[in-house]
Chain A
């Protein structure tokens, strides 16, 4: 077998002719539909692909995208960001987090602002870098502000596993991990009295493949079975997404409602059992996690198990961390966008008061947020 190169992972999956061929198949099949279908891509990574590669321009009129809540940075409520800010401003603390989390504004500002005021804030690509930082700064406390869905949770679990095994004394965790299926359920069957999601418009889900690499496709089984929504687990390249959409449209044409996997090259039914075991070892579900824009979602967040409280920054620093919940900006309609009730340009502050450089709502913050993707890749050109 020829050696696998990085480019093999994306080159063919961006082939113009293949993308055009799928566009034709989708158009032919969609012509047979009796009513339009709204497909929610749950994950921000998919939103990014769809907007960056201009895929809405290739869709027939009766196929519509709803951009879901799967951007870990976007859904972080302000009070959690304030936690990060307060922790970063503590003496002798190095706050470490992932990527664009440092841009999100809390009520005192973002972690970038904390950094400009002298706080030691760092971003890493791999959480394992925390070990190096902790070793180089033995007199400081390194706090890993952990964010993300099932995709990044195993990395946090591995870091904690190493911290315990290597007896590293100066690494703490602030856990903000959330899970995908619970919020999908919330979107179609809300139990929060503040959120009227019963008139949601979601007809089918495009499921993120990387979540299923960890958790398996099994986590989506209940959606076709109990909620009558087909799910196609799909990869992130444009050809993957186009094929995934084509599979969804075919299900409607053929009157099927199933769980299917487009990303067969990696995703299995069971997923990565080692990762799942590690996550079970260290994390418990929290009964309610407040999502920015969506409100409380039952069982959707994770926390460290009580037996690991000594590593939990929320426990260790509980005296300084604010507890009040902070509401979203009144003009911001991120909640409606995340539930598929509105598109970013329908927001009165989109692109004016709320821009990637000065985000007000959560969806404008990360490059994977729906508003930021609309702003950057402008669907102004039709």
Chain B
């Protein structure tokens, strides 16, 4: 570990994992935490329980705001364990001088998103801190959900299974990057920020046996696939040209030297199902997003690794994103 925490320790990739392992897991160690799933499964598999903090800058961005993000983020973590979001808490840390109107706007968009999930906020906390102590507004939400589909796990992937994504990847990361100070790119891109429970429910209603499910937030699809490959000790082979990426996201990646699979998403999930469920799962996903796609299969070639196959016959490893995402120079 480095002596001081750097931005890279919050990137959802290698350094982030190191920080969690070396400090938090070390002291909080217990069986439930060690599973390291999107949400903890408690009470004999009946409930899913999770928390998330939101510090996005800017607070309002094309297609969403920090409030929508704060509900989607936590509810999606529950949905990814096959749970229906039920009860939430909402804690805010507000910088002195913040606009009341903007705060209300943010809370209104939280309410709208809660309705989509069928969840309610049942407890909360507010703190106001002196100017400069936080960047305008930080929100923490915690959620409890009722598990409707048991057994979803990152460690159950087996050879021959199919990997799907629920829509085109990288839209949130690219949108935030384009809107960031110092980049000033104009684009009509919108974040993918959305509640995922309705799609998960549709998969369950169609009787699809969900093996693994994870929303590809920080670290993107690359992080999810790498975690699965490691947890299940399998190889995941992805056909690069089948990974759906919007033209605008591609353009931003080209200009800044990023890969869409490394970029964060806030309403996109990766799904693993048995080969025989593949067609039906894709059909269900495409009812919400036509861009959803089958992107790869589980193999035994290089256990613990993710391989990208190109259309011209070359292969390379797709690793966990490392460091802070920075645009390349020339």
Contact = CB atoms under 8 A, between A and B. Distances in A.
A78 B311 CA distance: 41
Interface in B303-330: 307, 310-317, 319, 322-324, 326-330
A376 interface: yes
Given A16-B311, A23-B312, A112-B7, A357 B323 contact: yes
A153 B325 CA distance: 24
B326 A99 contact: yes
Nearest to A358: B2
B329 A148 contact: yes
Contacts of A45: 330
Interface of A: 5-7, 9-10, 16-17, 19-20, 23, 45, 48, 51-55, 57-58, 72-73, 98-103, 112-113, 115-117, 122-126, 129, 133, 147-149, 151-152, 210, 238, 356-357, 366-368, 376-378, 380-381
B15 interface: yes
A6 B254 contact: yes
Given A99-B326, A152-B329, 4 more contacts: A102-B324, A103-B324, A112-B7, A151-B330
Contacts, number: 126
Interface string B1-37: 0101111100000110000000000000000000000
Contacts of B315: 54, 57, 381
A377 B254 CA distance: 17
Nearest to A44: B330
Q: Which residue of B5, B182, B257, B314 has the most chain A CB atoms within 10 A of its CB atom?
A: B314
B167 interface: no
B172 interface: no
B183 interface: yes
Q: Which residue of A9, A147, A367 has the most chain B CB atoms within 10 A of its CB atom?
A: A367
Contact of B5 (A52, A116, A381): A116
11 contacts: A9-B254, A53-B312, A54-B316, A100-B323, A112-B6, A112-B7, A113-B4, A367-B328, A376-B319, A381-B315, A381-B316
Q: Which residue of A102, A117, A381 has the most chain B CB atoms within 10 A of its CB atom?
A: A381
Interface in B242-261: 247, 250-251, 254-257
Given A125-B182, A152-B329, A112 B324 contact: yes
Given A100-B328, A148-B330, A20 B313 contact: yes
